Amino acid sequence: MTDKNFDIACQLADDLYFKFIDSLHDDIANEYVTTDEENGGTKNTEKGSELYWQIEDTIKEVLDKKEGESDA
């Protein structure tokens, strides 16, 4: 994976993840993110981290496949 594709995958994963989280009712969103008292923001729960990595991995797989097709 190129650096450019890696950056694209990370940005897309971040955007999709937070669009999803923002669409949830607070009691469900709390399963994915929690308040981070140390930094004054939020942080992922274990479930949230797993979802984020699944989204990112899926995007990377698609970009890798497209990259392979363009090399052929």
Predicted local confidence at residue 52, as pLDDT = 97
Domain that holds residue 16: 3-71
pLDDT of residue 72: 62
* Cα 47 versus chain centre, distance: 12
Q: Is 22 left (phi over 0), alpha (psi -120 to 50) or beta?
A: alpha
pTM: 0.85
Q: Which two tokens stand for residue 72?
A: 């052929």
pLDDT tens by residue, 1-24: 788 889 999 999 999 999 999 999
Looking at the 3D structure of the chain, how many domains does it have? 1
CB 59 within 8 A of CB 9: yes
**pLDDT tens for each residue of 25-72:** 999 999 999 999 999 999 999 999 999 999 999 999 999 888 888 776
